[in-house]
Amino acid sequence: LIPLFLIIGSGGIGAGLYLMRLAMFNPDVCWDKKNNPEPWNKLAPSDQYKFYSVNVDYSRLKKDRPDF
């Protein structure tokens, strides 16, 4: 039973860490509405916020939208 508890425990810890990463670094989540009400507008095209992207090199992307 010990290996089962280790595998289940490590899966739970991994899921918790991933949820914490989403809550802290995802541009869709806004914790401070007073100072930065729309954090998704402050992202540059070269900012990588996905955990893993297969075919995209974010360092070579150019801006294709207007400033507000």
- The mean pLDDT of 17-44, rounded to a whole number, is 79
In a domain, 18, yes or no: yes
What is the C-alpha separation between 54 and 11, in angstroms, rounded? 24
Tracing tokens 């540059």 back to the chain, one arrives at: 44
Whether 43 contacts 53, CB under 8 Å: no
In a domain, 65, yes or no: no
Which H or E element spans position 9?
Answer: helix 2-25
The total number of structural domains in the chain stands at 1
Q: Give the pLDDT confidence score for residue 2 in this predicted structure.
A: 93
In a domain, 24, yes or no: yes
The parent domain of residue 30 ranges over: 1-60
Taking Cα atoms as reference points, which of 31, 17, 25, 68 lies closest to residue 50?
25
31-47 pLDDT, tens digit each: 777 877 777 777 766 66
pTM of the model: 0.58
In a domain, 66, yes or no: no
